[in-house]
């Protein structure tokens, strides 16, 4: 008896989740489900016919060439001592206040994220630099590890962000426009995190003691450490915003500038460069394999009609557009407990995006206050930033919380329960940021509108 394609698609999703739960790598899980599902619906010949050109078609997209460049830039930046200089400068600015060293860790994470683009790399690198200082100044274990773990999530949104680039490729958005849109929400995250620490140390006075301010000469000397990061950010992101070059050549220039800084300062050996290249190859290969799996899964689900059925069901359900958006964001937070950020974006966007397009311009079209009150292109930008923010939450949400695992490994004397306790205030701050961006989409859309 023939199986209904939609039912087969739903079974495929259940199998995919089961594979993820038992820790099958997400790329292999998506490839297995996508290939098997397509073969069941259309026969193995159709699948094999697609496969002979699918990988090349995916990996030869020009926009994806920016991924290995930004990954390499982050790998080189990790080895050049920029993280240490950033933290030293931030500590000179904030360390004299209660909770100031934790604020310095947050600020340094934001700065390092601007040249790294990876949340896990930001958390790992800054953890090695900041945790010893936080322990030396007698910060509570929860605040010390929680602030660094939470600060790491800033790397996913502050440009350049590899996950943001992948999202732009999936929904066919302009990468430069997405970078513009991410700028103000990224700054808002830093401000909210700093305020969170300020409130925390007043509620728990002994958790974040201040230390004495250094001399003027020490302050100036420490501040000079920010210059390399400002130069890299200005050349790469500033050049993109100014229209001097596209993201791919900008990333290549960024690699050269970071390499030049590291070489001039004598902090990049041949082994460091070789290690960075090998790390980039491994990370890029992983990303591309996940992309291939996501494309196979998308083909299967499209042939099964699952995204179309979901969009039609939501459109006829009568839910208000904002209610639909909130439901989808909550689903992303829950999925963040099971998988990493890149896999989540690749898995869910092909399902969620048709639903939002239908809600924005389908049943509500022509009504007063129809949809979200914005064009499809602006909806791509707004949803992308919101999605990445809630994807960030998965990095600090139990039971997975990859940033928490990274920081726990760097601070073996602090229990994971204490670290999760420490990130909860920052989790609430992130929920506040999501609420603000839902209520005021202009925060996301203002800069792209102005610069375009």
Let me know: does 324 contact 314? Beta carbons within 8 Å.
Answer: yes
Report d(CA 344, CA 365) in Å as an integer: 30
pLDDT attached to residue 1: 47
The first and second tokens of residue 7, run together, are: 């039912």
Report d(CA 165, CA 190) in Å as an integer: 21
**Half-sphere exposure (Cβ direction) of 181: Cα atoms closer than 13 Å:** 28
Report d(CA 107, CA 82) in Å as an integer: 13
The first and second tokens of residue 290, run together, are: 């996940």
Segment (H or E) for 143: helix 141-152
pLDDT attached to residue 370: 57
Between the alpha carbon of residue 225 and those of residues 91, 236, 439, the distances in Å are 11, 18, 38
Report d(CA 247, CA 180) in Å as an integer: 12
Beta carbons within 10 angstroms of residue 65's beta carbon: 15
Report d(CA 327, CA 332) in Å as an integer: 9
* Strand, coil or helix: 366: coil
The first and second tokens of residue 103, run together, are: 């604020």
DSSP string, 186-201: HHHHHHHHHHHHHHHH
The first and second tokens of residue 102, run together, are: 């934790």
Phi then psi for residue 138, to 5 deg, are 65, 40
Report d(CA 449, CA 452) in Å as an integer: 5
Report d(CA 305, CA 282) in Å as an integer: 34
Report d(CA 112, CA 118) in Å as an integer: 9
The first and second tokens of residue 159, run together, are: 């440009």
pLDDT attached to residue 2: 58
User: H helices within 265-395, ranges in order?
Assistant: 270-304, 306-317, 321-335, 341-361, 376-394
**Cα dihedral sign, 408-410-414-420:** negative
Q: Which residue has the tokens 């000079």?
A: 224
Q: Find the length of the chain.
A: 452
Closest by alpha carbon to 146, among 407, 432, 430? 407
CA angle 57-58-59, nearest 5°? 100
Closest by alpha carbon to 30, among 283, 301, 281, 310? 301
pLDDT attached to residue 214: 65
Q: Which residue has the tokens 């990493």?
A: 340
Report d(CA 347, CA 229) in Å as an integer: 33
Task: For the chain, list residues with pLDDT below 50.
Answer: 1, 363-369
Report d(CA 151, CA 190) in Å as an integer: 8
């Amino acid at each position: 008896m023939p199986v209904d394609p939609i039912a087969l698609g739903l079974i495929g999703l259940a199998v995919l989740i089961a594979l993820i739960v038992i820790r099958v790598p997400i790329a292999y899980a998506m490839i297995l489900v996508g290939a098997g599902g397509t073969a069941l619906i259309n026969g193995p010949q159709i699948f094999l016919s697609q496969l002979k050109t699918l990988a090349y078609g995916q990996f030869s997209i020009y926009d994806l060439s920016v991924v290995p460049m930004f990954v390499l830039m982050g790998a080189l930046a990790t080895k050049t001592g920029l993280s240490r200089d950033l933290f030293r400068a931030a500590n000179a600015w904030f360390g004299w206040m209660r909770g100031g060293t934790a604020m310095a860790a947050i600020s340094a994470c934001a700065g390092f994220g601007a040249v790294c683009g990876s949340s896990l790399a930001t958390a790992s690198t800054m953890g090695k630099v900041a945790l010893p200082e936080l322990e030396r100044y007698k910060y509570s274990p929860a605040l010390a590890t929680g602030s660094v773990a939470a600060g790491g999530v800033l790397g996913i949104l502050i440009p350049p962000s590899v996950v943001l680039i992948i999202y732009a490729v999936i929904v066919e958005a302009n990468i430069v426009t997405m970078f513009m849109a991410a700028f103000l929400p990224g700054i808002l995250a830093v401000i909210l995190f700093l305020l969170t620490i300020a409130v925390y140390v007043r509620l728990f006075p002994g958790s974040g003691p201040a230390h004495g301010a250094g001399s003027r000469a020490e302050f100036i000397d420490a501040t000079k450490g920010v210059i390399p990061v400002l130069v890299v950010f200005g050349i790469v992101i500033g050049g993109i915003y100014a229209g001097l070059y596209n993201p791919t050549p900008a990333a290549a220039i960024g690699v050269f500038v970071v390499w030049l800084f590291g070489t001039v300062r004598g902090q990049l050996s041949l082994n460091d460069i070789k290690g960075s290249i090998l790390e980039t190859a491994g990370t890029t290969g992983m990303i591309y394999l996940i992309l291939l799996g996501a494309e196979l899964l998308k083909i299967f689900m499209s042939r099964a009609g699952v995204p179309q059925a979901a969009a039609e069901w939501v459109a006829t359900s009568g839910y208000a557009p904002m209610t639909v958006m909130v439901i989808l964001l909550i689903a992303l937070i829950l999925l963040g407990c099971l998988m990493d950020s890149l896999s989540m974006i690749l898995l869910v966007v092909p399902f969620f995006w048709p639903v939002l397009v239908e809600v924005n311009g389908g049943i509500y079209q022509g009504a007063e206050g129809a949809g979200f009150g914005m064009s499809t292109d602006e909806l791509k930008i707004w949803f992308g930033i919101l999605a990445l923010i809630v994807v960030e939450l998965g990095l600090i949400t139990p039971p997975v919380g990859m940033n928490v695992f990274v920081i726990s490994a760097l601070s073996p004397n602090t229990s994971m329960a204490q670290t999760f306790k420490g990130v909860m205030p920052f989790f609430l701050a992130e929920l506040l940021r999501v609420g603000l961006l839902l209520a005021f989409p202009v925060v996301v859309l203002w800069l792209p509108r102005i610069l375009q």
